[in-house]
Homo-oligomer: A and B are copies of this chain.
Amino acid sequence: MNVPASKSSSPEETIHGHGLRMTDQRRAVFDVLMGERDHPTAVEVFTRVRAKVPNISLATVYNCLDTLTACGLVKTVAHERESARYCPNLEEHAHFFCESCGTVSDIPLRPRKQPQDVWNFPADFSISHHEVSFGGTCPKCAAKAAKQNRN
């Protein structure tokens, strides 16, 4: 667990490195996530992947998403109490949730910056991971709202 997938190795190799097998279902779930740069829920992944593997079950989609996450091939994204989303972007980044249209955007970390630059940790906290999410209005929706207001 927590072994990052190096860019050079294939997903097969990464999965094998965890003592697991690359199955059609895992491959299909992985491909669906890589195919779009968005953040689908498990059910959205399920409906997309059914086009390729018509008999896959939702339980298997959940299992695949869990194993892919455990192998470091995708990321799981939680926001408030909504259903989990899955992200193919392995770079360190935060998430922006547009409250108007629901889209999720990746927000990259500035080079050479760390969360500790902004939050003041008492000594001796050992941080193993962080999850940062922002809520607000995306540029697209802001533009739409501005246009509305002009009328």
Contact = CB atoms under 8 A, between A and B. Distances in A.
Interface of A: 78-81, 84, 93-94, 96, 99, 105, 107-110, 113-115, 117-139, 142-143
A121 B113 CA distance: 14
Given A107-B120, A118-B109, A136 B125 contact: yes
Contacts of A78: 78-81
B117 A128 contact: no
A62 B134 CA distance: 24
Contacts of A125: 96, 105, 107, 134, 136-139
Nearest to A84: B81
Contact of A128 (B99, B122, B131): B99
